[in-house]
Structure 1
Amino acid sequence: MPAPECISPRLHGKAEKHGFIRKKNAAKWACAAVPVRKPGCQTEFRITIDYRPVSNVKMPIAGTTPNITVVSSSVRGTKSISKFDMVKSFWQLPRDVASQELMSFMTEDTVYTPNWVAQGAMVSAIDFQMQMQDVMALMLQRNDLVCVDDVIIFAPSVEEFLQALKEFFIILRDRRLKMSAAKSSLFQLYVAELQYFVCASNWLHDSLPDYARVVAPLQERLGMEGNKNGLNVAVILTENEVISYNEVKTLIKASVPLEFPSSTLELVVMTGPLLTGWSMMVTEVRVWLPVDKQ
Protein backbone atom coordinates (compact mmCIF):
# COMPACT_ATOMS: atom_id res chain seq x y z
CA MET A 1 0.00 0.00 0.00
CA PRO A 2 1.39 3.48 -0.87
CA ALA A 3 2.50 5.67 2.02
CA PRO A 4 0.03 8.46 3.02
CA GLU A 5 2.54 11.17 2.12
CA CYS A 6 2.63 9.79 -1.45
CA ILE A 7 -1.14 9.54 -1.69
CA SER A 8 -1.94 13.07 -0.53
CA PRO A 9 -0.38 15.01 -3.47
CA ARG A 10 -1.99 12.65 -5.95
CA LEU A 11 -5.48 13.11 -4.51
CA HIS A 12 -5.20 16.87 -4.12
CA GLY A 13 -3.65 17.26 -7.58
CA LYS A 14 -6.59 15.46 -9.15
CA ALA A 15 -9.12 17.60 -7.25
CA GLU A 16 -7.25 20.78 -8.23
CA LYS A 17 -7.11 19.73 -11.89
CA HIS A 18 -10.90 19.34 -11.99
CA GLY A 19 -11.52 22.71 -10.30
CA PHE A 20 -12.80 21.38 -6.98
CA ILE A 21 -10.07 23.11 -4.98
CA ARG A 22 -7.47 25.84 -5.49
CA LYS A 23 -4.19 26.68 -3.78
CA LYS A 24 -4.38 29.49 -1.22
CA ASN A 25 -1.40 29.50 1.13
CA ALA A 26 -2.45 32.92 2.49
CA ALA A 27 -5.76 31.58 3.86
CA LYS A 28 -6.56 32.62 7.44
CA TRP A 29 -8.22 29.28 8.15
CA ALA A 30 -6.82 25.79 7.51
CA CYS A 31 -7.90 22.43 8.92
CA ALA A 32 -5.93 19.19 8.67
CA ALA A 33 -6.51 16.84 5.70
CA VAL A 34 -6.09 13.07 6.10
CA PRO A 35 -6.34 10.48 3.26
CA VAL A 36 -8.50 7.48 4.24
CA ARG A 37 -8.63 4.22 2.32
CA LYS A 38 -12.02 3.41 0.80
CA PRO A 39 -13.77 0.31 2.24
CA GLY A 40 -12.84 -2.91 0.48
CA CYS A 41 -10.10 -1.30 -1.62
CA GLN A 42 -6.33 -1.17 -1.13
CA THR A 43 -5.44 1.45 -3.75
CA GLU A 44 -8.28 4.02 -3.69
CA PHE A 45 -8.46 6.79 -1.10
CA ARG A 46 -10.74 9.70 -0.27
CA ILE A 47 -9.84 13.06 1.20
CA THR A 48 -11.16 13.55 4.75
CA ILE A 49 -10.78 16.84 6.59
CA ASP A 50 -10.91 17.43 10.33
CA TYR A 51 -13.34 20.36 10.40
CA ARG A 52 -13.82 20.35 14.17
CA PRO A 53 -12.08 23.74 14.68
CA VAL A 54 -14.44 25.32 12.14
CA SER A 55 -17.53 23.49 13.39
CA ASN A 56 -16.89 24.76 16.93
CA VAL A 57 -17.43 28.37 15.80
CA LYS A 58 -20.24 27.76 13.30
CA MET A 59 -23.91 28.20 14.06
CA PRO A 60 -26.06 25.10 13.40
CA ILE A 61 -29.09 25.37 11.14
CA ALA A 62 -32.42 23.57 11.25
CA GLY A 63 -33.13 20.99 8.59
CA THR A 64 -35.25 17.98 7.74
CA THR A 65 -34.43 14.38 6.88
CA PRO A 66 -36.73 11.63 5.56
CA ASN A 67 -38.74 9.73 8.17
CA ILE A 68 -39.40 6.09 7.32
CA THR A 69 -42.84 6.09 8.94
CA VAL A 70 -43.93 9.10 6.88
CA VAL A 71 -42.45 8.21 3.49
CA SER A 72 -43.76 4.64 3.65
CA SER A 73 -47.22 5.99 2.81
CA SER A 74 -45.80 7.65 -0.30
CA VAL A 75 -44.49 4.39 -1.78
CA ARG A 76 -47.59 2.35 -0.98
CA GLY A 77 -48.72 0.47 -4.09
CA THR A 78 -45.42 1.01 -5.88
CA LYS A 79 -44.56 -1.52 -8.61
CA SER A 80 -41.32 -0.06 -10.00
CA ILE A 81 -38.39 1.37 -8.04
CA SER A 82 -34.95 2.61 -9.08
CA LYS A 83 -32.04 3.93 -7.00
CA PHE A 84 -29.50 6.55 -8.07
CA ASP A 85 -26.28 7.54 -6.30
CA MET A 86 -24.50 10.81 -7.04
CA VAL A 87 -20.85 10.91 -8.12
CA LYS A 88 -18.79 12.78 -5.48
CA SER A 89 -22.05 14.31 -4.37
CA PHE A 90 -20.87 17.14 -2.11
CA TRP A 91 -18.39 18.34 -4.73
CA GLN A 92 -21.26 18.91 -7.18
CA LEU A 93 -22.74 21.80 -5.17
CA PRO A 94 -20.87 25.14 -5.40
CA ARG A 95 -20.05 27.04 -2.22
CA ASP A 96 -20.60 30.77 -1.86
CA VAL A 97 -17.36 32.70 -2.39
CA ALA A 98 -17.71 34.44 0.99
CA SER A 99 -17.52 31.12 2.88
CA GLN A 100 -14.93 29.28 0.80
CA GLU A 101 -11.83 30.39 2.71
CA LEU A 102 -13.34 29.26 6.02
CA MET A 103 -13.34 25.66 4.73
CA SER A 104 -9.67 25.65 3.66
CA PHE A 105 -7.51 22.66 4.56
CA MET A 106 -3.79 22.00 4.68
CA THR A 107 -1.59 19.17 3.46
CA GLU A 108 2.09 18.64 4.24
CA ASP A 109 3.15 21.51 1.96
CA THR A 110 0.12 23.44 0.68
CA VAL A 111 -3.13 25.07 1.82
CA TYR A 112 -6.15 24.47 -0.42
CA THR A 113 -9.51 26.25 -0.52
CA PRO A 114 -12.53 24.28 -1.82
CA ASN A 115 -14.79 25.87 -4.42
CA TRP A 116 -17.56 23.39 -3.63
CA VAL A 117 -19.34 22.07 -0.54
CA ALA A 118 -16.91 20.14 1.66
CA GLN A 119 -18.06 17.04 3.49
CA GLY A 120 -17.55 16.72 7.23
CA ALA A 121 -18.46 20.18 8.55
CA MET A 122 -21.23 20.70 11.09
CA VAL A 123 -24.05 21.55 8.67
CA SER A 124 -22.73 20.07 5.42
CA ALA A 125 -25.06 17.05 5.38
CA ILE A 126 -28.16 19.04 6.37
CA ASP A 127 -27.41 21.76 3.83
CA PHE A 128 -26.88 19.16 1.11
CA GLN A 129 -30.15 17.40 2.00
CA MET A 130 -32.10 20.68 1.86
CA GLN A 131 -30.53 21.66 -1.46
CA MET A 132 -31.39 18.28 -3.01
CA GLN A 133 -34.96 18.49 -1.72
CA ASP A 134 -35.23 21.90 -3.37
CA VAL A 135 -33.86 20.51 -6.64
CA MET A 136 -36.31 17.58 -6.61
CA ALA A 137 -39.26 19.59 -5.21
CA LEU A 138 -41.59 18.93 -8.18
CA MET A 139 -41.23 15.15 -7.82
CA LEU A 140 -40.73 14.85 -4.07
CA GLN A 141 -43.06 12.30 -2.39
CA ARG A 142 -44.98 11.89 -5.68
CA ASN A 143 -42.35 9.88 -7.56
CA ASP A 144 -39.18 10.69 -5.67
CA LEU A 145 -37.48 10.32 -2.29
CA VAL A 146 -34.16 11.94 -1.38
CA CYS A 147 -31.75 10.84 1.36
CA VAL A 148 -28.61 12.99 1.14
CA ASP A 149 -26.96 11.81 -2.12
CA ASP A 150 -29.28 8.85 -2.76
CA VAL A 151 -32.35 9.39 -4.92
CA ILE A 152 -35.20 6.87 -5.16
CA ILE A 153 -37.58 7.02 -8.14
CA PHE A 154 -40.80 5.03 -7.80
CA ALA A 155 -44.19 4.66 -9.49
CA PRO A 156 -47.28 2.42 -9.30
CA SER A 157 -47.03 1.37 -12.97
CA VAL A 158 -44.39 0.88 -15.64
CA GLU A 159 -45.80 3.69 -17.79
CA GLU A 160 -45.73 6.20 -14.94
CA PHE A 161 -42.30 4.94 -13.91
CA LEU A 162 -40.85 5.66 -17.36
CA GLN A 163 -42.42 9.13 -17.29
CA ALA A 164 -40.93 9.75 -13.82
CA LEU A 165 -37.49 8.68 -15.07
CA LYS A 166 -37.78 11.11 -17.99
CA GLU A 167 -38.73 13.94 -15.63
CA PHE A 168 -35.85 12.99 -13.32
CA PHE A 169 -33.27 12.97 -16.12
CA ILE A 170 -34.49 16.38 -17.32
CA ILE A 171 -33.91 17.77 -13.81
CA LEU A 172 -30.40 16.26 -13.76
CA ARG A 173 -29.62 17.84 -17.12
CA ASP A 174 -30.96 21.27 -16.17
CA ARG A 175 -29.16 21.26 -12.80
CA ARG A 176 -25.98 19.70 -14.26
CA LEU A 177 -25.94 16.89 -11.70
CA LYS A 178 -24.15 13.61 -12.36
CA MET A 179 -25.11 10.15 -11.11
CA SER A 180 -22.91 7.07 -10.77
CA ALA A 181 -23.85 4.36 -13.27
CA ALA A 182 -21.97 1.75 -11.22
CA LYS A 183 -23.86 2.54 -7.99
CA SER A 184 -27.29 3.12 -9.56
CA SER A 185 -29.91 0.48 -10.32
CA LEU A 186 -33.10 0.66 -12.38
CA PHE A 187 -34.37 -2.80 -11.40
CA GLN A 188 -32.64 -4.72 -8.62
CA LEU A 189 -32.22 -8.37 -9.65
CA TYR A 190 -30.65 -9.82 -6.48
CA VAL A 191 -31.48 -9.06 -2.86
CA ALA A 192 -29.84 -10.85 0.04
CA GLU A 193 -32.37 -12.43 2.37
CA LEU A 194 -30.75 -11.01 5.50
CA GLN A 195 -30.48 -7.55 3.96
CA TYR A 196 -34.14 -7.73 2.89
CA PHE A 197 -35.25 -8.84 6.36
CA VAL A 198 -33.35 -6.07 8.19
CA CYS A 199 -34.52 -3.45 5.70
CA ALA A 200 -38.16 -4.52 6.02
CA SER A 201 -38.03 -4.58 9.83
CA ASN A 202 -36.50 -1.08 9.85
CA TRP A 203 -39.77 0.23 8.43
CA LEU A 204 -41.47 -0.87 11.65
CA HIS A 205 -38.79 0.29 14.10
CA ASP A 206 -40.96 3.06 15.58
CA SER A 207 -43.44 0.47 16.89
CA LEU A 208 -40.87 -2.14 18.02
CA PRO A 209 -39.63 -1.58 21.60
CA ASP A 210 -35.87 -2.06 22.12
CA TYR A 211 -35.49 -2.69 18.38
CA ALA A 212 -32.04 -1.10 18.04
CA ARG A 213 -30.47 -3.43 20.62
CA VAL A 214 -32.18 -6.57 19.34
CA VAL A 215 -31.30 -6.06 15.67
CA ALA A 216 -27.71 -4.87 16.30
CA PRO A 217 -26.05 -8.30 15.68
CA LEU A 218 -27.77 -8.62 12.30
CA GLN A 219 -26.79 -5.10 11.26
CA GLU A 220 -23.18 -5.79 12.25
CA ARG A 221 -23.19 -8.91 10.07
CA LEU A 222 -24.51 -6.91 7.12
CA GLY A 223 -21.67 -4.43 7.58
CA MET A 224 -19.15 -7.28 7.54
CA GLU A 225 -20.63 -8.86 4.42
CA GLY A 226 -20.94 -5.50 2.65
CA ASN A 227 -17.23 -5.57 1.80
CA LYS A 228 -17.77 -8.94 0.10
CA ASN A 229 -20.55 -7.67 -2.18
CA GLY A 230 -23.41 -8.22 0.24
CA LEU A 231 -26.03 -8.55 -2.50
CA ASN A 232 -24.75 -11.92 -3.70
CA VAL A 233 -22.73 -13.56 -0.92
CA ALA A 234 -24.25 -16.34 1.19
CA VAL A 235 -24.64 -15.51 4.89
CA ILE A 236 -24.26 -18.16 7.62
CA LEU A 237 -25.57 -16.81 10.91
CA THR A 238 -23.89 -17.48 14.24
CA GLU A 239 -25.84 -18.68 17.28
CA ASN A 240 -26.17 -15.12 18.65
CA GLU A 241 -27.32 -13.85 15.25
CA VAL A 242 -29.96 -16.59 15.04
CA ILE A 243 -31.21 -15.54 18.48
CA SER A 244 -31.33 -11.92 17.29
CA TYR A 245 -33.22 -12.97 14.16
CA ASN A 246 -35.85 -14.83 16.20
CA GLU A 247 -36.19 -11.94 18.67
CA VAL A 248 -36.83 -9.49 15.83
CA LYS A 249 -39.55 -11.79 14.47
CA THR A 250 -41.12 -11.93 17.93
CA LEU A 251 -41.14 -8.11 18.13
CA ILE A 252 -42.76 -7.84 14.71
CA LYS A 253 -45.40 -10.42 15.62
CA ALA A 254 -46.34 -8.47 18.76
CA SER A 255 -46.23 -5.03 17.13
CA VAL A 256 -49.21 -2.88 16.24
CA PRO A 257 -49.79 -2.82 12.45
CA LEU A 258 -49.03 0.52 10.79
CA GLU A 259 -52.05 2.50 9.64
CA PHE A 260 -52.08 5.59 7.46
CA PRO A 261 -54.64 8.44 7.58
CA SER A 262 -57.32 8.31 4.92
CA SER A 263 -58.07 11.41 2.87
CA THR A 264 -61.81 10.65 3.01
CA LEU A 265 -62.16 10.25 6.79
CA GLU A 266 -62.05 12.78 9.62
CA LEU A 267 -59.04 12.62 11.94
CA VAL A 268 -59.91 12.97 15.63
CA VAL A 269 -57.65 13.43 18.68
CA MET A 270 -59.22 12.23 21.95
CA THR A 271 -57.78 12.90 25.42
CA GLY A 272 -58.72 11.77 28.91
CA PRO A 273 -57.47 12.26 32.50
CA LEU A 274 -55.87 9.41 34.44
CA LEU A 275 -54.82 9.08 38.06
CA THR A 276 -51.18 9.92 37.31
CA GLY A 277 -51.45 11.85 34.04
CA TRP A 278 -53.25 12.13 30.73
CA SER A 279 -53.89 9.73 27.88
CA MET A 280 -54.30 10.58 24.21
CA MET A 281 -55.64 8.62 21.24
CA VAL A 282 -55.62 9.51 17.55
CA THR A 283 -58.33 7.83 15.52
CA GLU A 284 -60.45 8.22 12.40
CA VAL A 285 -64.20 8.54 12.15
CA ARG A 286 -65.92 6.83 9.24
CA VAL A 287 -69.53 7.61 10.20
CA TRP A 288 -70.56 10.01 12.96
CA LEU A 289 -73.25 8.56 15.25
CA PRO A 290 -75.47 10.34 17.79
CA VAL A 291 -74.33 10.07 21.42
CA ASP A 292 -77.18 7.69 22.32
CA LYS A 293 -76.17 5.29 19.52
CA GLN A 294 -72.44 5.21 20.14
Structure 2
Amino acid sequence: MLKNRNRKPSKKAQSQQAIARATALVDKQLAELKAHLLGKAEMQAFLDAANVAVDVYEDEVEGLVERATLPEFVVFTTVIEEDYPERFLEDIHPVIERLNDEGNASYLVIVFAEPSTLTLALTSRLFGQYPRLKGRVEIAHHLENLENELSEAFSKAVADWTEAPTLLDDARDGLKGIADLYSDSKPSRLCGKKIGKIFGYRGKEMATILSQSLDRPVSAAAFSATPDNDRLQDCLRNFELIARLRTVMSEAEFNAWLGADNWSLEDASPRQCILEGDVDAVAGLAARILEGNPS
Protein backbone atom coordinates (compact mmCIF):
# COMPACT_ATOMS: atom_id res chain seq x y z
CA MET A 1 0.00 0.00 0.00
CA LEU A 2 1.33 3.44 -0.89
CA LYS A 3 1.92 5.76 2.03
CA ASN A 4 2.46 9.51 2.36
CA ARG A 5 1.06 10.24 -1.08
CA ASN A 6 0.43 13.84 -0.01
CA ARG A 7 3.71 14.26 1.79
CA LYS A 8 5.16 17.75 1.48
CA PRO A 9 8.12 17.92 -0.96
CA SER A 10 11.55 17.98 0.67
CA LYS A 11 13.37 21.27 0.95
CA LYS A 12 15.82 20.11 -1.72
CA ALA A 13 12.94 19.30 -4.06
CA GLN A 14 11.31 22.67 -3.31
CA SER A 15 14.57 24.44 -4.04
CA GLN A 16 15.00 22.58 -7.34
CA GLN A 17 11.45 23.51 -8.31
CA ALA A 18 12.17 27.12 -7.41
CA ILE A 19 15.30 27.17 -9.57
CA ALA A 20 13.49 25.66 -12.53
CA ARG A 21 10.66 28.15 -12.26
CA ALA A 22 12.97 31.12 -11.80
CA THR A 23 15.02 30.08 -14.82
CA ALA A 24 11.90 29.70 -16.94
CA LEU A 25 10.57 33.07 -15.80
CA VAL A 26 13.87 34.81 -16.54
CA ASP A 27 13.84 33.37 -20.06
CA LYS A 28 10.18 34.37 -20.47
CA GLN A 29 10.83 37.93 -19.26
CA LEU A 30 13.76 38.39 -21.63
CA ALA A 31 11.81 36.98 -24.57
CA GLU A 32 8.82 39.25 -23.86
CA LEU A 33 10.99 42.32 -23.40
CA LYS A 34 12.89 41.63 -26.60
CA ALA A 35 9.63 41.22 -28.50
CA HIS A 36 8.22 44.42 -26.99
CA LEU A 37 11.36 46.45 -27.62
CA LEU A 38 12.05 45.09 -31.09
CA GLY A 39 13.27 47.94 -33.24
CA LYS A 40 14.23 50.16 -30.32
CA ALA A 41 17.95 49.86 -30.84
CA GLU A 42 19.23 51.08 -27.47
CA MET A 43 16.94 48.90 -25.37
CA GLN A 44 17.47 45.91 -27.63
CA ALA A 45 21.21 46.45 -27.27
CA PHE A 46 20.89 46.36 -23.49
CA LEU A 47 19.01 43.08 -23.54
CA ASP A 48 21.50 41.52 -25.94
CA ALA A 49 24.36 42.58 -23.67
CA ALA A 50 22.81 41.47 -20.38
CA ASN A 51 24.10 38.46 -18.52
CA VAL A 52 21.73 36.63 -16.19
CA ALA A 53 22.80 34.31 -13.39
CA VAL A 54 20.17 32.09 -11.79
CA ASP A 55 21.76 30.45 -8.79
CA VAL A 56 21.08 28.53 -5.60
CA TYR A 57 22.92 30.42 -2.92
CA GLU A 58 24.18 27.34 -1.07
CA ASP A 59 26.16 26.19 -4.11
CA GLU A 60 27.02 29.30 -6.09
CA VAL A 61 27.73 32.29 -3.83
CA GLU A 62 31.47 31.65 -3.55
CA GLY A 63 31.92 31.20 -7.28
CA LEU A 64 29.77 34.26 -8.00
CA VAL A 65 31.75 36.49 -5.66
CA GLU A 66 35.04 35.35 -7.20
CA ARG A 67 33.98 36.39 -10.71
CA ALA A 68 35.78 39.39 -12.12
CA THR A 69 32.45 41.07 -12.81
CA LEU A 70 28.96 40.23 -11.63
CA PRO A 71 26.23 39.60 -14.20
CA GLU A 72 23.79 42.45 -14.83
CA PHE A 73 21.13 40.34 -13.11
CA VAL A 74 21.62 37.96 -10.22
CA VAL A 75 18.58 35.86 -9.31
CA PHE A 76 18.69 33.80 -6.12
CA THR A 77 16.11 31.09 -5.54
CA THR A 78 16.19 29.49 -2.13
CA VAL A 79 14.21 27.66 0.51
CA ILE A 80 14.92 29.12 3.93
CA GLU A 81 15.05 26.87 6.96
CA GLU A 82 12.83 28.77 9.37
CA ASP A 83 15.00 27.94 12.37
CA TYR A 84 18.16 29.28 10.70
CA PRO A 85 17.38 32.41 8.65
CA GLU A 86 20.72 33.88 9.71
CA ARG A 87 22.49 31.32 7.53
CA PHE A 88 21.04 32.77 4.35
CA LEU A 89 21.99 36.31 5.37
CA GLU A 90 25.51 35.22 6.30
CA ASP A 91 26.00 33.36 3.03
CA ILE A 92 24.62 36.08 0.79
CA HIS A 93 26.51 38.91 2.54
CA PRO A 94 29.61 38.69 0.26
CA VAL A 95 27.39 39.14 -2.79
CA ILE A 96 25.76 42.20 -1.23
CA GLU A 97 29.21 43.65 -0.56
CA ARG A 98 30.11 43.14 -4.24
CA LEU A 99 26.84 44.73 -5.35
CA ASN A 100 27.61 47.71 -3.14
CA ASP A 101 31.03 48.26 -4.72
CA GLU A 102 31.43 51.61 -6.39
CA GLY A 103 30.64 51.32 -10.08
CA ASN A 104 28.74 48.03 -9.84
CA ALA A 105 25.33 48.25 -11.47
CA SER A 106 23.98 44.73 -11.09
CA TYR A 107 20.42 43.98 -10.05
CA LEU A 108 19.59 41.38 -7.42
CA VAL A 109 16.33 39.45 -7.28
CA ILE A 110 15.71 37.11 -4.34
CA VAL A 111 12.81 34.69 -4.32
CA PHE A 112 11.85 32.86 -1.15
CA ALA A 113 9.93 29.62 -1.59
CA GLU A 114 8.69 29.67 1.99
CA PRO A 115 9.93 32.63 4.06
CA SER A 116 9.23 33.13 7.73
CA THR A 117 8.32 36.52 9.18
CA LEU A 118 11.70 36.58 10.91
CA THR A 119 13.53 35.89 7.64
CA LEU A 120 11.79 38.77 5.87
CA ALA A 121 12.42 41.14 8.78
CA LEU A 122 16.12 40.26 8.95
CA THR A 123 16.50 40.53 5.18
CA SER A 124 14.88 43.98 5.10
CA ARG A 125 17.12 45.12 7.95
CA LEU A 126 20.22 43.85 6.14
CA PHE A 127 19.48 45.69 2.89
CA GLY A 128 18.61 48.81 4.88
CA GLN A 129 22.30 49.05 5.75
CA TYR A 130 23.19 49.57 2.07
CA PRO A 131 21.48 52.73 0.77
CA ARG A 132 23.37 52.48 -2.56
CA LEU A 133 21.41 49.32 -3.31
CA LYS A 134 18.05 51.05 -3.03
CA GLY A 135 16.10 50.32 -6.20
CA ARG A 136 18.49 47.55 -7.28
CA VAL A 137 17.17 44.76 -5.06
CA GLU A 138 13.79 43.10 -5.54
CA ILE A 139 12.47 40.51 -3.07
CA ALA A 140 9.75 38.05 -4.04
CA HIS A 141 8.15 36.71 -0.86
CA HIS A 142 6.75 33.73 -2.73
CA LEU A 143 7.32 32.07 -6.09
CA GLU A 144 4.02 33.53 -7.25
CA ASN A 145 5.54 37.03 -6.92
CA LEU A 146 8.69 36.25 -8.89
CA GLU A 147 7.39 37.30 -12.30
CA ASN A 148 6.41 40.76 -11.04
CA GLU A 149 9.73 41.28 -9.26
CA LEU A 150 11.74 40.18 -12.31
CA SER A 151 9.72 42.49 -14.52
CA GLU A 152 10.38 45.37 -12.12
CA ALA A 153 14.13 44.67 -12.05
CA PHE A 154 14.38 44.34 -15.84
CA SER A 155 12.40 47.55 -16.38
CA LYS A 156 14.64 49.52 -14.01
CA ALA A 157 17.78 48.13 -15.59
CA VAL A 158 16.65 48.95 -19.12
CA ALA A 159 15.72 52.48 -18.03
CA ASP A 160 19.05 53.02 -16.27
CA TRP A 161 21.08 51.66 -19.17
CA THR A 162 19.31 53.71 -21.82
CA GLU A 163 18.84 56.97 -19.91
CA ALA A 164 21.90 57.41 -17.71
CA PRO A 165 25.06 58.84 -19.30
CA THR A 166 27.41 55.89 -18.75
CA LEU A 167 30.81 54.87 -20.03
CA LEU A 168 29.06 52.42 -22.32
CA ASP A 169 27.31 55.17 -24.28
CA ASP A 170 29.51 54.45 -27.29
CA ALA A 171 28.46 50.81 -27.15
CA ARG A 172 24.88 51.71 -28.05
CA ASP A 173 25.79 52.14 -31.69
CA GLY A 174 24.60 48.67 -32.63
CA LEU A 175 26.77 47.01 -29.99
CA LYS A 176 29.39 46.44 -32.67
CA GLY A 177 31.68 45.04 -29.98
CA ILE A 178 29.63 41.94 -29.22
CA ALA A 179 26.91 41.46 -31.83
CA ASP A 180 29.19 39.27 -33.94
CA LEU A 181 30.00 36.92 -31.05
CA TYR A 182 26.66 35.12 -30.85
CA SER A 183 25.66 31.76 -32.33
CA ASP A 184 23.65 31.79 -35.55
CA SER A 185 21.60 28.73 -34.56
CA LYS A 186 21.15 29.74 -30.89
CA PRO A 187 21.12 33.55 -30.82
CA SER A 188 21.01 33.75 -27.02
CA ARG A 189 24.33 31.89 -26.73
CA LEU A 190 27.86 33.06 -27.35
CA CYS A 191 29.80 31.14 -30.00
CA GLY A 192 33.34 30.09 -29.09
CA LYS A 193 34.42 29.85 -32.74
CA LYS A 194 33.34 33.42 -33.47
CA ILE A 195 35.04 34.63 -30.31
CA GLY A 196 38.22 32.78 -31.26
CA LYS A 197 38.21 34.48 -34.65
CA ILE A 198 37.88 37.94 -33.06
CA PHE A 199 40.68 37.25 -30.59
CA GLY A 200 42.91 35.46 -33.09
CA TYR A 201 42.76 31.97 -31.57
CA ARG A 202 42.28 28.74 -33.51
CA GLY A 203 39.84 26.09 -32.32
CA LYS A 204 42.50 24.03 -30.56
CA GLU A 205 43.80 27.11 -28.75
CA MET A 206 40.29 28.07 -27.64
CA ALA A 207 39.71 24.54 -26.34
CA THR A 208 42.93 24.77 -24.32
CA ILE A 209 42.02 28.20 -22.94
CA LEU A 210 38.54 27.04 -21.97
CA SER A 211 39.97 23.91 -20.32
CA GLN A 212 42.27 26.05 -18.19
CA SER A 213 39.59 28.61 -17.34
CA LEU A 214 36.92 26.04 -16.50
CA ASP A 215 39.39 23.70 -14.76
CA ARG A 216 38.05 20.74 -16.71
CA PRO A 217 38.99 19.28 -20.09
CA VAL A 218 37.39 20.66 -23.25
CA SER A 219 38.54 18.68 -26.27
CA ALA A 220 39.17 20.39 -29.60
CA ALA A 221 36.70 17.99 -31.23
CA ALA A 222 33.94 18.76 -28.72
CA PHE A 223 34.58 22.49 -29.04
CA SER A 224 34.47 22.28 -32.83
CA ALA A 225 31.18 20.33 -32.74
CA THR A 226 29.35 22.60 -30.26
CA PRO A 227 31.19 25.92 -29.83
CA ASP A 228 28.02 27.40 -28.28
CA ASN A 229 27.68 24.66 -25.64
CA ASP A 230 25.80 25.85 -22.55
CA ARG A 231 28.64 24.69 -20.30
CA LEU A 232 31.02 27.13 -21.98
CA GLN A 233 28.84 30.20 -21.59
CA ASP A 234 30.17 31.45 -18.23
CA CYS A 235 33.73 31.56 -19.54
CA LEU A 236 32.68 32.92 -22.94
CA ARG A 237 30.89 35.80 -21.18
CA ASN A 238 34.28 36.99 -19.94
CA PHE A 239 35.43 37.10 -23.58
CA GLU A 240 32.27 39.04 -24.39
CA LEU A 241 33.10 41.61 -21.73
CA ILE A 242 36.62 42.01 -23.08
CA ALA A 243 35.21 42.37 -26.60
CA ARG A 244 33.10 45.33 -25.47
CA LEU A 245 36.32 47.33 -25.61
CA ARG A 246 35.82 47.24 -29.39
CA THR A 247 33.02 49.75 -28.86
CA VAL A 248 35.52 52.35 -27.65
CA MET A 249 38.58 51.20 -29.63
CA SER A 250 39.24 50.60 -33.28
CA GLU A 251 40.07 47.04 -34.36
CA ALA A 252 43.73 48.02 -34.63
CA GLU A 253 43.73 49.60 -31.16
CA PHE A 254 41.97 46.57 -29.67
CA ASN A 255 44.47 44.13 -31.17
CA ALA A 256 47.37 46.31 -30.05
CA TRP A 257 45.94 46.43 -26.52
CA LEU A 258 45.64 42.63 -26.46
CA GLY A 259 49.31 42.25 -27.35
CA ALA A 260 50.84 44.98 -25.19
CA ASP A 261 52.35 44.35 -21.74
CA ASN A 262 50.04 45.77 -19.08
CA TRP A 263 51.12 46.76 -15.59
CA SER A 264 47.64 45.96 -14.27
CA LEU A 265 48.32 42.34 -15.29
CA GLU A 266 51.77 42.26 -13.66
CA ASP A 267 53.39 43.34 -16.93
CA ALA A 268 51.90 40.45 -18.89
CA SER A 269 49.83 41.15 -21.99
CA PRO A 270 46.08 40.45 -22.05
CA ARG A 271 46.67 37.90 -24.81
CA GLN A 272 49.27 36.09 -22.69
CA CYS A 273 46.96 36.02 -19.66
CA ILE A 274 44.14 34.63 -21.77
CA LEU A 275 46.39 31.91 -23.21
CA GLU A 276 47.31 30.93 -19.65
CA GLY A 277 43.62 30.61 -18.77
CA ASP A 278 43.36 33.79 -16.67
CA VAL A 279 40.46 35.23 -18.66
CA ASP A 280 38.86 36.55 -15.44
CA ALA A 281 41.74 38.97 -14.82
CA VAL A 282 41.55 40.40 -18.34
CA ALA A 283 37.75 40.70 -18.11
CA GLY A 284 38.10 42.58 -14.84
CA LEU A 285 40.58 44.98 -16.42
CA ALA A 286 38.27 45.50 -19.41
CA ALA A 287 35.38 46.28 -17.06
CA ARG A 288 37.46 48.88 -15.22
CA ILE A 289 38.50 50.50 -18.51
CA LEU A 290 34.86 50.74 -19.60
CA GLU A 291 34.03 52.26 -16.22
CA GLY A 292 36.75 54.87 -16.71
CA ASN A 293 38.94 53.42 -13.95
CA PRO A 294 41.63 51.22 -15.54
CA SER A 295 43.85 51.11 -12.44
Alignment TM-score, normalising by the size of structure 1: 0.22
More strand by share: 1
Higher RCO (CA < 8 A, seq sep 6+): 1
Alignment TM-score, normalising by the size of structure 2: 0.22
More helix by share: 2
